[in-house]
């Protein structure tokens, strides 16, 4: 089995914030990876190119007499860079999968992953790395088990402040004696409830006539369980065939899913991700809820554009709509007009007439990255289609705007795949009937519309 050498966290300038211990390598090992990453990132920025997700790093062996090498897997989150060196024959997906789990754990502990939060919780992050990575092998990955070993920062500060000490962590062996690895024994709640959040995103490419060239739907089911004892749950879907390429939480009994398409599991306590999936291709066709008509005419030192939006959902509003257009390297200014229905806000002016706003939304142009953004708070199928028309000026004689633009949106209480929860049964050593809630959210992933 492959191993991970360690974790390095850099700030937005490439300076190290945290570097885990690398006992099998010389002291210069993490520095070589940091320098190689910063050099590659500066080169990519200067050439306006994408940085390879895995970078080769020339390193020295432990004795220092011979050259060897390592792969450096990295991701960027909130302006911070997370590096994972792998010095053996390791599948990079192994390192990226560990990074995803590590970042999910940081969000659970710290909330937003920011430079300030990391600096304020150095001790907690180092302890998490020690527990999650045992000599290069992933070890304790369940959040419930980790919280028994490494106290969350708010609770830790409260306990340590009362005790008048700092930098101490009370050891415990309870998680390692638990009969169920992901659930601590003796869980008790005053109100027993469980919530399921079904979140789906759609990736698509649309041509200038509005035809869908390709589309795929990705989903996840997040849970928040507050159930006492050891409840044994059976989750039934009305249409389980829409679930394809599933990735399950370890609590799920895979044999029962393969046989009956029913999720049988004893849930962890608190928040966790139950399932990730890709919707079956037959259920993703023509699921784009937004109609777009667009035209772009390129002229010397500029160009003209026009975009019209329509909603294809009769029952749900589209929210937080953003159209992002890259107008080319030399774009300097934009002149545009957004139009749409005039909606009453509910308040009235001194003359007694209803005040309103233009539903065409608003637009803004960033001259630094040459991106025009058109934003609308909501769009329903019954209103007049909003439009954005305008022109741009470029310092280049022959401007080269992007041949496509990106669209993003959210839809509350909607599912692209039409996945529906049919029934939830609670079994096991419990004597209560829990409250159950299901919520759906659909959002755009990478939706690209060609001119």
Domain that holds residue 167: 8-172
- CB neighbour list of residue 82: distance below 8 Å, 6 or more residues apart: 7, 8, 9, 10, 74, 75, 76, 99, 102, 103
63/135 same-domain check: yes
393/424 same-domain check: no
Of the candidate ranges 27-31, 37-41, 139-143, 172-176, the one whose mean pLDDT is the lowest:
172-176
Q: What is the mean predicted confidence (pLDDT) over 86-93?
A: 81
How confident is residue 357, by pLDDT bands cut at 50, 70 and 90?
very low
Q: What is the mean predicted confidence (pLDDT) over 81-110?
A: 88
Q: Is the pLDDT of residue 185 over 60?
A: yes
Two structure tokens written together for 363: 């637009």
Asked whether residue 179 is domain-assigned, the answer is no
Residue-wise pLDDT for 242-272, tens only, equals 999 999 999 999 999 999 999 999 999 888 9
Asked whether residue 202 is domain-assigned, the answer is yes
118/214 same-domain check: no
Q: Count of domains in the chain?
A: 3
Report pLDDT for 350: 46
* 227 or 355, higher pLDDT: 227
Mean pLDDT, the chain, whole residue set: 85
What DSSP string describes 88-106? SS--HHHHHHHHHHHHHHH
* 145 or 222, higher pLDDT: 222
* 109 or 164, higher pLDDT: 109
Q: What are the Cα distances from residue 392, in Å, to 299, 301, 331, 338, 388?
A: 10, 8, 7, 15, 13
Residue-wise pLDDT for 378-389, tens only, equals 998 888 899 999
Asked whether residue 197 is domain-assigned, the answer is yes
Q: Is the pLDDT of residue 172 over 50?
A: no
Report pLDDT for 282: 67
Q: Is the pLDDT of residue 145 over 80?
A: no
Q: What is the mean predicted confidence (pLDDT) over 337-341?
A: 87
* 163 or 50, higher pLDDT: 50
How confident is residue 351, by pLDDT bands cut at 50, 70 and 90?
very low
Q: Is the pLDDT of residue 23 over 80?
A: no
If one counts every other C-beta atom within 10 angstroms of the C-beta of residue 385, the result is: 17
Asked whether residue 186 is domain-assigned, the answer is no
104/150 same-domain check: yes
Q: Is the pLDDT of residue 348 over 50?
A: no
- For the sheet with 371-379, list strands across it: 243-248, 270-279, 212-226, 193-206, 435-450, 404-412, 318-326, 371-379, 362-366
Report pLDDT for 354: 32
The domain spanning residue 300 has which CATH number?
Answer: 2.60.40.1170
Of the candidate ranges 11-25, 51-65, 115-129, 415-429, the one whose mean pLDDT is the lowest:
51-65
pLDDT above 70 covers a percentage of the chain that reads 87
Q: What are the Cα distances from residue 43, in Å, to 3, 51, 105, 409?
A: 29, 9, 32, 34
The Cα–Cα gap between 213 and 434 comes to 45
The Cα–Cα gap between 104 and 119 comes to 18
231/107 same-domain check: no
Q: What is the mean predicted confidence (pLDDT) over 225-235?
A: 92
20/162 same-domain check: yes
Nearest of 217, 211, 223, 215 to residue 182 by alpha carbon: 223
- For the sheet with 290-299, list strands across it: 290-299, 302-311, 387-394, 331-339
206/118 same-domain check: no
425/365 same-domain check: no
281 contacts 436 by C-beta, under 8 angstroms: no
Q: What is the mean predicted confidence (pLDDT) over 116-124?
A: 88
392/331 same-domain check: yes
How confident is residue 224, by pLDDT bands cut at 50, 70 and 90?
very high
Asked whether residue 185 is domain-assigned, the answer is no
* 176 or 4, higher pLDDT: 4
Asked whether residue 347 is domain-assigned, the answer is no
The domain spanning residue 23 has which CATH number?
Answer: 3.30.450.60
159 contacts 133 by C-beta, under 8 angstroms: no
Of 111, 143, 172, the one marking the end of a domain is 172
Do strands 371-379 and 362-366 pair parallel, antiparallel, or not at all (unpaired)?
A: antiparallel
364/397 same-domain check: yes
Report pLDDT for 349: 42
273/294 same-domain check: no
Q: What is the mean predicted confidence (pLDDT) over 360-389?
A: 91
Q: Is the pLDDT of residue 66 over 70?
A: no
pTM of the model: 0.76
The Cα–Cα gap between 125 and 150 comes to 9
Report pLDDT for 182: 85
Count of residues in the chain: 451
Report pLDDT for 372: 96
Q: Is the pLDDT of residue 1 over 70?
A: no
The Cα–Cα gap between 184 and 221 comes to 22
Report pLDDT for 366: 93
Report pLDDT for 326: 95
Which residue in the block uniquely carries the two structure tokens 């028309």? Answer: 389
Q: What is the mean predicted confidence (pLDDT) over 213-237?
A: 93
Asked whether residue 349 is domain-assigned, the answer is no
Residue-wise pLDDT for 272-297, tens only, equals 999 999 998 765 555 789 999 999 99
Q: What is the mean predicted confidence (pLDDT) over 365-393?
A: 92
Of the candidate ranges 157-166, 311-320, 354-363, the one whose mean pLDDT is the lowest:
157-166
Q: What is the mean predicted confidence (pLDDT) over 6-29?
A: 87
Report pLDDT for 112: 86
Report pLDDT for 347: 42
How confident is residue 173, by pLDDT bands cut at 50, 70 and 90?
very low
Of 142, 172, 202, the one marking the end of a domain is 172
363/437 same-domain check: no
């Amino acid at each position: 089995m492959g191993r991970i050498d360690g974790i390095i966290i850099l700030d937005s300038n490439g300076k190290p914030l945290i570097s885990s211990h690398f006992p099998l390598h010389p002291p210069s090992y993490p520095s070589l990876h940091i320098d190689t990453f910063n050099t590659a990132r500066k080169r990519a920025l200067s050439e306006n190119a994408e940085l390879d997700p895995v970078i080769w790093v020339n390193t020295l062996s432990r004795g220092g007499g011979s050259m060897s090498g390592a792969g450096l897997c990295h991701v960027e989150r909130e302006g911070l860079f997370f590096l994972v060196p792998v010095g053996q024959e390791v599948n990079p997906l192994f390192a990226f999968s560990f990074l995803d789990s590590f970042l999910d754990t940081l969000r659970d502990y710290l909330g937003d992953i920011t430079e300030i939060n990391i600096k304020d919780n150095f001790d907690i992050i180092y302890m998490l790395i020690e527990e999650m990575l045992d000599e290069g092998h992933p070890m304790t990955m369940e959040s419930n088990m980790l919280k028994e070993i490494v106290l969350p920062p708010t609770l830790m500060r409260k306990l340590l402040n009362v005790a008048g000490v700092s930098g101490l962590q009370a050891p415990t062996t309870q998680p390692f004696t638990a009969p169920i690895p992901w659930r601590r024994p003796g869980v008790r709640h005053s109100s027993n409830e469980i919530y399921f959040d079904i979140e789906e995103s759609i990736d698509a490419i649309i041509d200038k006539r509005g035809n869908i060239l390709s589309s795929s739907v990705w989903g996840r089911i997040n849970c928040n369980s507050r159930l006492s004892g050891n409840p044994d749950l059976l989750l039934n879907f009305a249409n389980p065939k829409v679930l394809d390429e599933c990735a399950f939480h370890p609590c799920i009994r895979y044999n029962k899913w393969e046989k009956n398409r029913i999720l049988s599991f004893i849930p962890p306590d608190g928040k966790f991700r139950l399932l990730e999936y890709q919707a079956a291709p037959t259920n993703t066709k023509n699921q784009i809820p937004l109609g777009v008509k667009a035209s772009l005419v390129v002229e010397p030192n500029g160009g003209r554009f026009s975009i019209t939006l329509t909603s294809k959902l009769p029952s749900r509003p589209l929210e937080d709509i953003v159209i992002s257009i890259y107008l080319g390297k030399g774009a300097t200014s934009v002149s545009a007009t957004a139009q749409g229905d005039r909606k009453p806000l509910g308040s009235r002016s001194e003359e007694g007439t209803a005040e309103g706003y233009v539903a065409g939304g608003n637009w803004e142009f960033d001259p630094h990255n040459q991106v025009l953004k058109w934003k609308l708070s909501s769009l329903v199928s019954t209103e007049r289609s909003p439009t954005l028309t305008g022109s741009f000026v470029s310092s280049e004689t022959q401007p080269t705007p992007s041949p496509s633009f990106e669209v993003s949106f959210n839809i509350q209480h909607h599912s692209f795949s039409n996945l529906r929860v049919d029934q939830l049964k609670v079994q096991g050593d419990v004597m209560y009937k829990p409250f159950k809630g299901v919520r759906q959210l659909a959002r755009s992933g990478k939706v690209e519309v060609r001119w």
